[in-house]
Amino acid sequence: MEKLLIPCVYLRDGKLVKGFSDNAVLSDDPAKYCTALSVNGADAIILFDLSSSDTEHEEALLVIRKITESTVLDVYGAGNVNRLEDVKKLLYAGCRKVALNMAKSSNIDLIEEAGKRFSKDRIISCADSLEQILDNLKVLKAHTSASILLGSLFVEGFEEIPVIPLLNDDTDIVSIIKKPCVCGICGDIINRKCEDLFSFKKELESLGVGIRKIACDLTWAELTKNDKGLIPVICQDDQSQEVLMLAYMNEEAFEHTVSEGVMTYYSRSRSCLWKKGDTSGHYQFVRSLYYDCDSDTLLAKVVQIGNACHTGSHSCFFNEAFNMGKSGHDPYSVLTDVMNVILDRKENPKEGSYTNYLFDKGIDKILKKVGEEATEIVIAAKNPEAEESKYEIADLLYHIMVLMAEKGITWDEVMAELANR
């Protein structure tokens, strides 16, 4: 089992504070702080929302959304989870898992309900003691993927469910993390090492602890370098497949990239390593790495935070030399292109445009049309032929896109939500 190192962050009043009872501000930019955790080697983040009211909780959800959009790490949402709606809102805000506090007796039933509704892979529990786990073991095994244990007390040989101990003192980490039931550790003992978790991982690995790392089958020696010992790297957006940029690597940049999972290049103009994002915050997290038939060029597919180009463009390739049109219809590109037209109509109204008519009439008219088109699909689908259904589905998608534009929702957000499911 790969053991995870998971920092805890505590959100109060839109800022990160040092702990449950320590209101000293750690960062007033939670998203930037959590991006740094991604870069420095964290495997996931446990985020405790310390809001004291429903209004504060709603405001916290907006911050949580920014955090999940700014990091490739799985975020486990915890705190202020009292009903199924709270679980749903955290998942919709981008949290990979939601933790329910077992100290609240009502949450035992909620764990079962949430596990059935969203699957056990999306639910974890928080336990104050091992006894809480043992007393509710049947529910936890059926409806959760792990339990955060607030302390380091274990029954030797316990292997019933995966646990993540939250450790705040100088407990012997190695002896705990080696236990078969422990899938990761979290808490202040990890937070104190957050500036360089990669070094800590190497230390644990040397002591026989299996930690999460990238398994790369390619070595630098297998690549064909140019006369300066460099190799070109094409960087591509993993989701949209858009080509973002081209840069170069030397051996050190290659080793940093495959060991840390963050794109690192060699700057020919400055003759030094260059971790993309250290200055701009626009990091590139590697999803996959390919090499070509001659082994002299790399292709990296990445999650791009922000923009790749120093001009502010998402891609460096925005200067068009010529365009003979597309040879086919990529579904994602079609949706993106139509959405761009709708957004342009919103910003630059055109006389006689039906899209502008809908925007002028407002949200109620848009919603009415969405409802009407959905009904048209139901009617069309009753016919044996599929052609009418295709037409009506296209109509519905168009009106949904108008609604998305009105609400400020992007296709990337919708696709990411589908991927999470």
Q: Looking at the structure, do residues 139 and 275 belong to the same domain, yes or no?
A: no
Pair (51, 154) in one structural domain: yes
Q: What is the total count of domains within the chain?
A: 3
Asked if the structure places residue 314 within a domain, the reply is no
Both 271 and 336 in one domain: the answer is: no
Give me the DSSP letters along 172-189: -HHHHHTSTTB-EEESHH
Total-model pTM? 0.80
Half-sphere exposure (CA, 13 Å, Cβ side) for 182?
28
Domain residues for the domain of 386 are: 331-420
Mean pLDDT of the chain: 91
Estimate to the nearest angstrom the gap between the alpha carbon of 191 and the chain centroid: 20
Q: Is residue 311 part of a domain?
A: no
| Type and span of the H or E element at 375 | helix 363-381
The domain spanning residue 229 has which CATH number? 3.10.20.810
What confidence category does residue 421 fall into, taking pLDDT thresholds of 50, 70 and 90?
low
Q: Is there a domain that residue 291 lies in?
A: yes
At residue 135, φ and ψ (nearest 5 deg) are -70, -25
The per-residue pLDDT for range 45-86, each reduced to its tens digit, is 999 999 988 889 999 999 999 999 889 999 999 998 989 999
Counting other chains too, the contacts that 303-311 makes at CB distance below 8 Å and 24 or more residues apart are: 303/72, 303/238, 303/239, 304/237, 304/244, 305/35, 305/70, 305/71, 305/277, 305/281, 306/277, 306/280, 306/281, 306/282, 307/282, 308/235, 308/244, 308/245, 308/276, 308/282, 308/284, 309/244, 309/245, 310/280
**Terminal-to-terminal C-alpha distance of the chain:** 24
In a 3-state reduction of DSSP, which class is residue 291? strand
Task: Average the pLDDT over 118-123 and give the result.
Answer: 92
Amino acid (one-letter) located at 6: I
pLDDT at 128: 87
Q: Is residue 318 part of a domain?
A: no
**Could you say which of 206, 240, 259 is where a domain stops?**
206
Task: Clarify whether residues 199 and 230 are in a common domain.
Answer: no
Judge if 244 and 374 occupy the same domain: no
Higher pLDDT, 230 or 386: 230
User: For residue 246, is it within any domain?
Assistant: yes
Residue 7's nearest CA partner among 204, 195, 200, 186 is: 186
The pLDDT score that the predictor gives to residue 323 is: 80
- Residues 41 and 150 both lie in one domain: yes
Residue 225 sits in the same domain as residue 193: no
* Model confidence at 106: pLDDT above 70: yes
Which two tokens mark 357? Answer: 């008519």
> 226 and 369, same structural domain?
no
Of 94-98, 167-171, 190-194, 197-201, the poorest mean pLDDT is in 167-171
Within-domain flag for 317:
no
pLDDT at 18 over 90: yes
Q: Is residue 309 part of a domain?
A: no
How large a percentage of the chain has pLDDT more than 70? Answer: 96
Task: Give me the pLDDT at residue 420, please.
Answer: 66
Residue 341: give its domain's CATH number: 1.10.287.1080
Residue located via tokens 């089992």: 1
**Local confidence band at 365 (pLDDT 50, 70, 90 cut-offs):** very high
Look at residue 214 and tell me if it is in a domain. Answer: no
The strand pairing partners of 98, in sequence order, are 77, 123
Whichever domain contains 168, its CATH number is: 3.20.20.70
What is the band of 8 on the pLDDT scale with cuts at 50, 70, 90?
A: very high
Categorize the per-residue pLDDT at 337 as very low, low, confident or very high, splitting at 50, 70 and 90.
Answer: confident
